[in-house]
A and B are shown apart, each in its own frame.
Chain A
Amino acid sequence: MNLVKAKAYFPFVFYTLIILVDVIILALLFPGKVFKLIETKDQIEIFSTEERQLTEANELLAAVDINQLSSALVIANVALPDEKKVAGLISGLGTVASASGVVVRTISYSPGVVSTSSAQSQNLDAIPVTMTLNSSLIQFLDYLKKLQSASQLLGVTGITYTLTGSSPGGEVNILVYYLPARAGKPSWLGVPRIDAEDLKILSKISPQDIFNLPLKSR
């Protein structure tokens, strides 16, 4: 029984062995070519993948409306500047206060001091600013509302207020948020999509107020 099976399979095994030997002979005869073929095959795979990724990235970028992007970025830049810009902010805080009938006594911040608590937990940086004010409670609440809905993102972290005496007033602690510049060169692997949901976020920011000034003039 075994002999019959062996006879049936033998030619197949025999000729397979011959072909295998041939391949080995070819590899021995042209080793450079065979290695080059393997190397070229690998390179084709790598470059084809990159070609596909680049095509996809370029298509995504081509679909972006530059005008829409620029106008969205203007609002986003006001809300979250790339770097610490406080000079214009201080005059903005003062102007909004005057509009609410609040008298600003002092505005203080320490250059170079960056908040390390709540801001960094949100992957943002922030400059802590302290203001001392005088106003009635109604005026102060109006000012507070304006601060919290300003086009530049501000976070009121603490309030201490005294309402007695001839000149009510107190102290407000504010975080002025900004987004540090992104490090490193962008890659074609990281082209993001901005959809309508993303742009809805911008609608939550006041379109116009005293903070909404061109960055160069701030």
Chain B
Amino acid sequence: MIDINLLVSSDVLSLSQKIFKKNLAVVCLVLTFVVIFGGAIIFGIDQLSTTRLAQIKSHRQELQNQFASDLPKLEMLLSLKDKLAGINRVISTRPNLSTAISKQQEMLLPGISTTNFTVSSDGSMNFNVKIANYKILSDYLTELETEKSRDFFKQLKISSLQMGKDGSFDFSINAVFDKNILLANQNKL
């Protein structure tokens, strides 16, 4: 049995030997050419690259000098950018608490007065109310149940209801305002 791979390998080997012998002079020439001209090209490229690098460095230095002279302007620009972002954040997240108090006052009926109140920036509000008589109390509670009231209050809790000797009522209202309404009113001052 003949090993076909071995046959092919030996053929290629003899072929390469033939070509090498035949082209020995050409190979030597090519090698010399590449070494001489290749060396010259390397030196040439090196020269060009060094010159190009020096040019870029010089131009970069000019640009850096110009940038350095504009540095105060950049500092002002960065400061303005930061401040605008900060102002925008505060304005868009700062609730308008006067709206909460005004809305609560608007809903008061004749014969009702607020004795004291506390408001916090999360929209929660506690107000103590004095009401002259039961009829007004009934009307006020009805008012608090209206759609208009529900537009402003997310949560409403009435506690500590006390009746005085004169027939008046005192009670506390714990309310949580819809913060979106307080934010929306921020720029409507």
Q: Contact check, B101 vs A159: say whether CB atoms are below 8 A apart.
A: yes
Query: Complex: how many Å from CA A182 to CA B19?
Result: 74
B105 CB–A CB distance under 8 Å: yes
Q: Contact check, B91 vs A204: say whether CB atoms are below 8 A apart.
A: yes
Q: Contact check, B38 vs A51: say whether CB atoms are below 8 A apart.
A: no
**B residues less than 8 Å from A40 (CB atoms):** 46, 49-50, 53
Query: Complex: how many Å from CA A149 to CA B117?
Result: 22
Q: Contact check, A145 vs B49: say whether CB atoms are below 8 A apart.
A: no
Q: Interface of chain B, helix or strand or loop or mixed?
A: helix
Q: Contact check, B90 vs A122: say whether CB atoms are below 8 A apart.
A: yes
Q: How many A-B residue pairs have CB under 8 A?
A: 220
Residue-by-residue, is B38-50 near A (CB-CB < 8 Å gives 1, otherwise 0)? 1100110110011
Q: Contact check, B83 vs A205: say whether CB atoms are below 8 A apart.
A: no
Q: Contact check, B77 vs A64: say whether CB atoms are below 8 A apart.
A: yes
Give the shortest distance, in Å, between A184 (CB) and chain B (any CB).
10
Q: Contact check, A177 vs B86: say whether CB atoms are below 8 A apart.
A: yes
Query: Complex: how many Å from CA A170 to CA B105?
Result: 17
Query: Complex: how many Å from CA A205 to CA B53?
Result: 51
Q: Contact check, A3 vs B11: say whether CB atoms are below 8 A apart.
A: yes
Give the shortest distance, in Å, between B83 (CB) and chain A (any CB).
4
* Chain A interface bracket (under 10, 10 to 19, 20 to 34, 35 or more): 35 or more
The residues in B between 91 and 123 inclusive whose CB is less than 8 angstroms from any CB of A are 91, 93-94, 96-98, 101-102, 105, 113-121
Tell me how many residues of B have a C-beta within 8 Å of chain A: 71
Q: Contact check, A10 vs B12: say whether CB atoms are below 8 A apart.
A: yes
Q: Contact check, B119 vs A10: say whether CB atoms are below 8 A apart.
A: no
Q: Contact check, A54 vs B19: say whether CB atoms are below 8 A apart.
A: no
Query: Complex: how many Å from CA A144 to CA B189?
Result: 10
B155 CB–A CB distance under 8 Å: no
Query: Complex: how many Å from CA A44 to CA B46?
Result: 12
24 contacts between A and B (CB under 8 A): A10-B12, A10-B15, A14-B19, A15-B30, A26-B39, A34-B42, A37-B42, A51-B60, A54-B63, A54-B67, A61-B67, A64-B77, A66-B73, A73-B80, A124-B89, A144-B101, A145-B189, A148-B97, A153-B91, A159-B120, A161-B118, A194-B77, A201-B91, A204-B87
